[in-house]
Structure 1
Amino acid sequence: MTIRALCHEDLPDVLGIECQGYSFPWSESIFRGCFRPDYRLWALESGHWLTGYAVVAYMAGEAHLLNLCVAPAKRGSGGGRRLLRHLIVESARDGMTQVLLEVRMSNQAAIDLYTSEGFDVIGRRPGYYPSGKEREDALVMALPLEGGLPDSHQ
């Protein structure tokens, strides 16, 4: 598995993974809007195939992880962890003070991943995610970078 910058030409593959991975996927226009100087977009490749991606916005010295997704057929292979560690290291290199993210309360696999990489729950956003007729709460999680990278990321 390798990680590289995501490019516009990757969007058809990204949209395919997005639609497989989420009940309420981002649109192509949302992804296109992320190709800006204050965003970082990463592609995970296995062989010559795009198998995952991450979208991070840099705002006020913080890296906000907006989307991290691995193709369902490739989950459990360590790709999500690899993407997460990569974006943490790059965020620290770029001078960000912390990485923030929201995660669905029902997404225990993602919560476990983030916790195992040093993220702590710092809040909750009621009704943050669409979920059929209702809305689902999000946990807000953070990983401080001010004192340097956590040991697991060096």
Structure 2
Amino acid sequence: MRLRDADWRDLAPMAEIEARSFPADAWPPATFWAEHAARPRRSYVVAIDEHRVVGYAGLDLAGDVADVMTVTVHPDRRGTGLGAHLLEELHTRARAAGAAAVMLEVRADNGPARGLYGSRGYAVVHTRSGYYRSADGGPSVDALIMRKELS
């Protein structure tokens, strides 16, 4: 498995992984095109295994605090450490761009993602009540705003 900068050929597979990963609130393909067009402020990396995209991550480099836009791993590759590898690459890119901290937003009901972020030094700094729709039509889900200081 290797990481490389995302290019326009990766946008369709990224959108497919997104739809499988977040059925209730997946980004539409047009959002991936808009994110790609926002370079160099936006920085996206893909994980490639056997010539296919198996994960991706994106970062907004807006100054001294960078924002993680997404970290997504193909359902077949979850639990392999790929998400941590992608997140660490974002931290490297943020540091290189001069950021002192990184922030992100995560669904409160996404236990694996919260575990990953917590294990990498992120702490909850704010909660947006009822921000996300529920995947099953139930009550809405809070968004947790998390921050990590880069060293």
Does 1:123 pair with 2:96? no
Deviation at 1:22, TM superposition (A): 0.5
Aligned to 2:42: 39
Does residue 139 of the first structure (1) align with residue 144 of the second (2)?
yes
- The alpha carbon displacement at 1:127 in A equals 2.1
Asked whether the equivalents of residues 61 and 97 of structure 2 are also in contact (C-alpha less than 8 Å), the reply is no
Counterpart Cα distance in 2 of 1:127 and 1:60 = 29
Distance 1:8 1:129 in 2: 28
RMSD: 1.2
Query: Please, what TM-score do these two structures have when normalized by structure 1?
Result: 0.90
User: Quick check: 126-135 or 7-16, which moved more?
Assistant: 126-135
TM-score relative to the length of structure 2: 0.91
Hey, which bits of structure 1, 4+ residues long, moved more than 3 A? none
Task: Report matched runs for 1:3-152 at 5 Å.
Answer: 3-23=3-23, 24-35=25-36, 36=38, 37-131=40-134, 132=137, 134-145=139-150, 148=151
Moved more, 101-110 or 122-131: 122-131
For residues 119-138 of structure 1, the C-alpha deviation after alignment (integer angstroms, 9 at most, x for no partner) is 11111111222223642111
C-alpha distance in structure 1 between counterparts of 2:3 and 2:66, whole Å: 18
Give the count of matched residue pairs: 146
Give the distance between the partners of 1:29 and 1:47, measured in 2 at CA. 26
Structure 1 stretch displaced more, 58-67 or 128-137: 128-137
Q: Percent identity?
A: 32
Give distance in 1, aligned partners of 2:62 and 2:139.
30
Unaligned runs of 5+ in 2: none
Gapped regions of structure 1 (runs ≥ 5): 149-154
Alignment partner, residue 151 of structure 1: none
